[in-house]
Amino acid sequence: MGKKSFILIGMILLLMSCKGGGKENDKSVILSFDTSKALDFKTSLLYPEKIIHLDFSDSILIDKNAYLLYDDKAFFIYSQGSPNPLMRFDEKGHFLNYIGKIGSAPDEYNLVGDACLNKQEKKVEVLSGNYVYRYDYAGVYVDKLEHRQIAFSFAIDEKGNHWFYLGNNSVNGNAKMVKMDAQCHKSQKLLEEKSKLLPMVESNFCKGLGMLTFRESLSHDVYEIADGEIKKSYSLDFPEYHLPKKLHEVPPMDAVALLRRSNYARVMFYAENQSYVFLQVLLNDINEEDSEMYYWIYQKFFNKNVVIKLDKTIPVDSYIYYPQFITEDNKLYFMGFVLNEERNTDISEENPSIVVVDIKEIL
């Protein structure tokens, strides 16, 4: 399967947006992406600082496109839309416990819409249908909160507020985001925009150890959530790869065709700490058979942009394509399969590994 097919799967369910609105505070910085100055992929990424191999058995199977959370010296792993419960591992990769159960009982969820850690209360919160199910870190049921939103992802800020991403969905009106308090009361609609696009499931929030951030893959604005507010952090400029102007005006199926015949950029991942902005960008070029993937790193102190073109020969299940979060001490966490000496993914591994890379080794 080509990288374009692999990465663009699910495009028929488009949901993203080109610009944000609402009550966010727009004091954003404009960053410009320049492919002419792109650096070649560095092999140092293939020799990471740390590799954590995760336990595997018939009952410990990690889904594809899994996501990673961390707190209290433990990793929490889940996949959106999965019928499998969340799993908790220790720092050495040993399995500790499941978080809740899949089922129809009052203390069970029927699938994982999304998940988040409430680090203040040491609870795992699972989005499933109209409820957020809450468990302690040992996986014991605590309670559930009714939110009544048609939400595709969510996050919890440092004050306990819940942020639900609704996508472009006429059922919700023009609002793409709803903020609710710690008990899922007092809803506030945000990021309003008219659009004919349909919702799609993706991981919109970076919920790691850096800043709490929000992005949409077909939006060139990215946001930070802090102090109970959402603020546009950066407007991203992609010369020659701007989104189609009529993307939000045409019917959904026409939007798919419009994108296929356009040069445009998708923001696949956005993480930030006090020193760096880390973005993963996909460029769709109508003259190329496969899309090009890049890392885009903004060094705040030096006001410097570094663009790195990823090597197309690296298998698509490699950790290289799956960044998870950045820490305040500038460690990038990835999760995927490790490459062997022939630069193939190691088929001896049954579960992906957690891989840690110092961002300075990439630059």
Domain 3-362 bears CATH identifier 3.40.50.10860: no
In angstroms, how far apart are the furthest CA atoms of the chain?
56
Chain segment 132-155, per-residue pLDDT in tens: 999 999 999 999 999 999 899 999
Please give the model's pTM, rounded to 2 decimal places.
0.89
- CA 151 to centroid of chain Cα atoms: 15
Q: Buried b vs exposed e over 21-31: b needs ≥16 C-beta within 10 Å? A: bbebeeebeeb
| Cα atoms in the 13 Å half-sphere on the side-chain side of 299 | 10
- What lies within 8 Å, CB to CB, of 307 at 6+ separation is 33, 34, 35, 37, 38, 39, 294, 295, 296, 297
Would you give per-residue pLDDT tens digits along the chain (363 residues)? 444 443 443 443 333 333 333 344 456 799 999 999 899 887 777 789 999 999 999 889 998 889 999 999 999 999 998 888 999 999 999 999 999 999 999 999 999 999 999 999 999 999 999 999 999 999 999 999 999 998 999 999 999 999 999 987 767 778 889 999 999 999 999 998 877 777 777 899 999 888 999 999 989 999 999 999 999 999 999 999 999 988 888 888 888 899 999 999 999 999 999 999 999 999 999 998 889 999 999 999 999 999 999 998 889 999 999 999 999 999 999 999 987 765 566 555 689 999 999 998 887
Helices (H) and strands (E) in the chain, counts: 3, 26
How far, in Å, CA of 363 to CA of 344, rounded? 24
Nearest to 231 by CA among 28, 29, 25, 31: 25
Chain segment 153-195, per-residue pLDDT in tens: 999 999 999 999 998 776 777 888 999 999 999 999 999 887 7
- What are the residue boundaries of the structural domains of the chain, listed by start? 3-362
Tokens 């999965």 found at = 82
Read off φ and ψ for residue 353, nearest 5 degrees.
-115, 160
